[in-house]
Structure 1
Amino acid sequence: MHGVARRCNEEHELLVVPKAPRAHCPSQSPRVWNLYSIKNNKLLPLPFQVPYVDRFVGSSKGWLVTVDDNLVVRLLNPLCLVPGKQIGYDPNTYITLPPLDPPCSVFNHIRKVVLSANLTSSHDDYMAIFGADHHVAYIRTNKEKEWTYVHHNWGILHDLIYYRDCFCAINYNSEVIYFNMADRSFFKYLPINCNVNLENFETKNFVKSLAGELLLIERIKRWDWHGKLGCNYTKGAEIWNLKLDSEGWEWREMKSIRDCALFVGDNISLSVAASDFCGCQPNCIYFIDDYENFLYPSMILENSYALKYAKDVGVYNMETRSFTPYDTAKDDVWLVDTTKLRIVPSFVVYEPA
């Protein structure tokens, strides 16, 4: 059995899931994973084997991003990781980046890694949000051997995206920070004028619309305390469109996204035409919550409430302004108690010979 690469005419979003949850089949190797096609609503016969890593930290341009205990960042192409195949040093399959500087604690140190282009077609700039205060580091692998660190006073950064040949970040105040990698310049642009109740807090994510415009999704959440343990739930959501013209930048609130549906998560967010996906609801935002980022190991071990109610996963309807949560207690392919990663393969599919 071997892999054959071919170009795809369209992008298909895939969900990375374990081949068999440990609770159901302990004899199966936890390193063998499958791809779940969201478009076709089924598991694909494309098992791949992932080498040991400490944890996944996201996906970008069809690559999985991992980090180990030594903060070494590695990029894996899941469509080339055939079970039983030796990974070796094939740059189309496995790329190792220099380690980041060690922090006081490695717990959830790297938040997100973003690529500027497909690694197989061009040399790349990488960028990472890292650390408890979400500082930024970047590297140009064709020119540099170590990460460059950006020490800023922009506050906590929520998300990072590669848009119009530059990296853009969003901070807690909804200010957009523009990174020009060519001359290493950084600019900050106007925030959104919005007032938020102090009982609430927001998470912010970038999404590129089908029309190629930059959207900002503000997920409004509220804390619910049970003794000393608190969880949060989605109370609302807002969508803002960043308009660029000769006079500058302007945020415009969107009350509807019509036939579009947005998939928003920590590792990747994207916009799709709902009519192209059976069962996909138009004018809705599908949220995936990686709330384990905020749980310490002691909380997970000592109190099952943290795991049972901490995952705020569901669909927000822009027309009715209502949020419908998924029952995360159910043990199905979407909500098994493990990390979910969405990937959009950029140029290859694996075909058994």
Structure 2
Amino acid sequence: MNTHTGMASIQKWSELPGELLDKIAKSLHLYPDYIRFRAVCVSWESSLPKTPNHLPRQFPLLMLPYDQENDKPCVFFSLNENKSYSLNFPLEFHNKFFRGACHGWLVIVDKTPSISLFNPFTNTHIELPPLSLNSKGFECLYKIVLSSSPNSSDFMAIAIIGDRKRFQFFGWRDRMKLAFCRYGDNRWSSLKEMPRSTGNESSYIDVIFYKKQQIVAAKSNGLFVIMDIIGGHGNSIPEIKVMQTLQPPDSVCLDHNLYLVESNDELLIVNRSVEVLSFDNCRDYDYKTTGFSVYKLDLIKNSSGSYSCKWSEMKSLGDQMVFLGLDPSSSFSTSEFPGCKGNCIYFTDDLWDSQLEGGSSRGSDVGLFDMSEQKIKPLHCDPRELNCLPPIWITPTPL
């Protein structure tokens, strides 16, 4: 046998036929795997599209705290695969803070009024309008919710913001308000409130684009606000208008740690119970989550255009997995991700804010709440021993 002839007949990896390369790429169902496959060589990178269209809905990754001072990759842990992925962040985002993620884009802030959205999987970022300045300094960001991927030119962002000096444990909930902007806006517009008698003196603590069009917000006093987007056609500037405020019945007992979740086209209210373990001052404290309760809110639109609602407590989430934290809450089915544990609430710390104020409390209130057992359990990758930034749920997206 002529060994030289045999070796010459073996194709180089970089010379694989395009049809075969495309077939292999389409067999990959995880976006991180697609990124690594495309990065094998220059030829594959140029042959395969940067934005794959075949990928199914992706499972959230847990972005772990990383050492911002040393140039080390950021680690993303996959619960359903039980393995980690590493990505390098641009130097410009070192020594900044991450305030959650939405549609696969991280929300990045620092001690200035600037806000950026960054997709760590495509290495692209978008600037949002800066926060406003007032007599107490610039406003502080708690959470941002996007109507769609910021890659589209018609997305809207809603921010929950408040005065920095009041952005402290539980105390910040007295002064949080809503503001919104569209793609291309150079400033945030404040929500026009209804008269004070309707409860607008309390703080906004969560907001959601329910079914991608109806805006629903939760307030710290247990009220829920339904809003509509008015205008925005042609060159007109849209406004968010409060349409109605709903109050839960007396039988529903809510704390002021509330989350709005869309699950199977249903609107869920998740109530998080938190116990304060130690409290030295407004910036140095320790606490832990002790449990959750879940309610379904059925919104019924009447012929007059107003809403009535029906509340029901849910003792089980079925095959659903709910993810809570600094991010907009999300829900996934175990039918989409076999091997994952359903009927559970996966949570990260969202009461942590002390590093922006020089405090020493940790972002370590992280775990899994099993609805069937009514118990809190640690995650496979348990970051609670890390005395630093809280981890963040992020759903990989190429868009």
Please state which band the TM-score falls in when normalised by the shorter chain. Answer: 0.7 to 0.9
Shift of 1:338: 2.9
Which structure has greater helix proportion? Answer: 2
Q: Which residue of structure 1 aligns with residue 394 of structure 2? A: 343
Q: Which amino acid aligns with 1:169?
A: A
Q: Which residue of structure 1 aligns with residue 19 of structure 2? A: none
Q: Which amino acid aligns with 2:225?
A: I
Shift of 1:94: 2.0
Alignment TM-score, normalising by the size of structure 2: 0.69
> 2:77, 2:85 within 8 Å by CA — same for their partners in 1?
yes
Larger radius of gyration, structure 1 or 2?
2
Task: Output the CA distance in 2 between the equivalents of 1:145 and 1:225.
Answer: 42
Q: After the TM superposition, which residues 149-228 of structure 1 pair with which residues of structure 2 at under 5 Å, given as runs?
A: 149-150=190-191, 152=193, 153-164=200-211, 165-183=213-231, 184=239, 185-194=241-250, 201-209=255-263, 211-225=264-278
> 1:34, 1:43 within 8 Å by CA — same for their partners in 2?
yes
Indicate whether 1:7 and 2:53 are aligned: yes
Secondary structure at the aligned position of 2:352 is classed as: helix
Q: Which residue of structure 2 aligns with residue 99 of structure 1? A: 130
1:91-132 per-residue CA deviation (whole Å, 9 max, x = no partner) reads xx22112212125245x8101111111222342211111014
Q: Which residue of structure 1 aligns with residue 166 of structure 2? A: none
> 2:63, 2:392 within 8 Å by CA — same for their partners in 1?
yes
Q: After the TM superposition, which residues 1-353 of structure 1 pair with which residues of structure 2 at under 5 Å, given as runs?
A: 4-12=50-58, 13-17=60-64, 21=67, 28-30=70-72, 32-44=73-85, 46-49=87-90, 51-52=92-93, 54-81=96-123, 93-103=124-134, 104-105=136-137, 109-132=140-163, 133-142=175-184, 144-150=185-191, 152=193, 153-164=200-211, 165-183=213-231, 184=239, 185-194=241-250, 201-209=255-263, 211-225=264-278, 230-247=285-302, 248-274=308-334, 276-277=336-337, 280-293=340-353, 297-300=357-360, 306-307=361-362, 311-324=364-377, 337-348=388-399
> 2:114, 2:130 within 8 Å by CA — same for their partners in 1?
yes
> 1:265, 1:289 within 8 Å by CA — same for their partners in 2?
yes
Task: Output the CA distance in 1 between the equivalents of 2:140 and 2:365.
Answer: 22
Task: Output the CA distance in 1 between the equivalents of 2:126 and 2:358.
Answer: 33
Shift of 1:230: 4.5
Shift of 1:238: 1.0
Task: Output the CA distance in 2 between the equivalents of 1:99 and 1:230.
Answer: 30
Shift of 1:297: 4.7
Identity between Structure 1 and Structure 2 (%): 27
1:178-231 per-residue CA deviation (whole Å, 9 max, x = no partner) reads 23223432123322235799xx9441111110x111111101223233666643
Structure 1: unaligned runs, 5 residues or longer: 82-92, 301-305, 349-353
Shift of 1:265: 0.9
Secondary structure at the aligned position of 2:216 is classed as: strand
Closer, same or farther: CA 136–256 of 1 in aligned 2, 3 Å: same
Q: CA RMSD in A?
A: 3.2
Higher relative contact order (CA 8 A, sep 6+): 1
> 2:98, 2:108 within 8 Å by CA — same for their partners in 1?
yes
Closer, same or farther: CA 67–21 of 1 in aligned 2, 3 Å: closer
Closer, same or farther: CA 249–58 of 1 in aligned 2, 3 Å: same
Closer, same or farther: CA 50–212 of 1 in aligned 2, 3 Å: farther
Task: Output the CA distance in 2 between the equivalents of 1:235 and 1:109.
Answer: 28
Shift of 1:314: 2.1
Task: Output the CA distance in 2 between the equivalents of 1:80 and 1:139.
Answer: 24
Q: Which residue of structure 2 aligns with residue 351 of structure 1? A: none
Shift of 1:15: 2.5
